[in-house]
């Protein structure tokens, strides 16, 4: 059983506040009874993502591949190349066929827009189970 006082920290990056809201709404506070509660940090710019990830403390990064001007896939590749202990990354792709680009970016998972709460929840739970 998970420690009820622990929280898993997720950074959610998108230049679109609606996308960030959709991610948080789809995942909620707890995605599975065996995992601790989730806490979120919403980020709208790539520079802040880099700063926050360098500071550490995140269990998962969710990056919007459709963000502008810096897309989540390029940002994922940059983070994987530059941050020694980069947390797992899930990229939100523009379409299912873009999964190969997410793989190129070294993201551990990809979920296409529009956000499907079940598909996103399953992918996030899988990634978090491997980090807890």
pLDDT band at 2 (very low <50, low <70, confident <90, very high): very low
- What count of other Cβ atoms lies within 10 Å of the Cβ of residue 125? 15
Q: What is the pLDDT of residues 86-98, one digit of tens each?
A: 999 999 999 888 8
Report the distance separating Cα 87 and Cα 123, nearest Å. 15
Q: Does the pLDDT value for residue 4 go beyond 80?
A: no
The CATH fold assigned to 8-129 is: Rossmann fold (3.40.50)
Question: Helix 117-129 and helix 17-27: axis angle, to 10°?
Answer: 70
Find the radius of gyration of the CA atoms of the chain: 13
Q: What is the pLDDT of residues 5-45, one digit of tens each?
A: 689 999 999 999 999 999 999 999 999 999 999 999 999 99
Question: Helix 72-82 and helix 46-55: axis angle, to 10°?
Answer: 30
CA 39 vs. chain centroid, Å, equals 12
pLDDT of residue 99: 82
């Amino acid at each position: 059983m998970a420690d009820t006082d622990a929280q898993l920290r997720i950074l959610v990056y998108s230049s679109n506040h609606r996308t960030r809201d959709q991610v948080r709404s789809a995942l909620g506070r707890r995605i599975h009874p065996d995992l601790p509660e989730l806490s979120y940090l919403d980020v709208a710019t790539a520079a802040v993502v880099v700063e926050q990830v360098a500071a550490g403390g995140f269990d998962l990064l969710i990056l919007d591949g459709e963000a502008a001007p810096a897309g989540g896939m390029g940002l994922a590749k940059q983070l994987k190349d530059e941050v020694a202990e980069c947390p797992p990354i899930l990229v939100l792709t523009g379409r299912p066929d873009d999964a190969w680009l997410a793989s190129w970016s070294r993201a551990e998972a990809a979920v296409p827009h529009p956000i499907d709460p079940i598909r996103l929840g399953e992918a996030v739970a899988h990634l978090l189970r491997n980090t807890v």
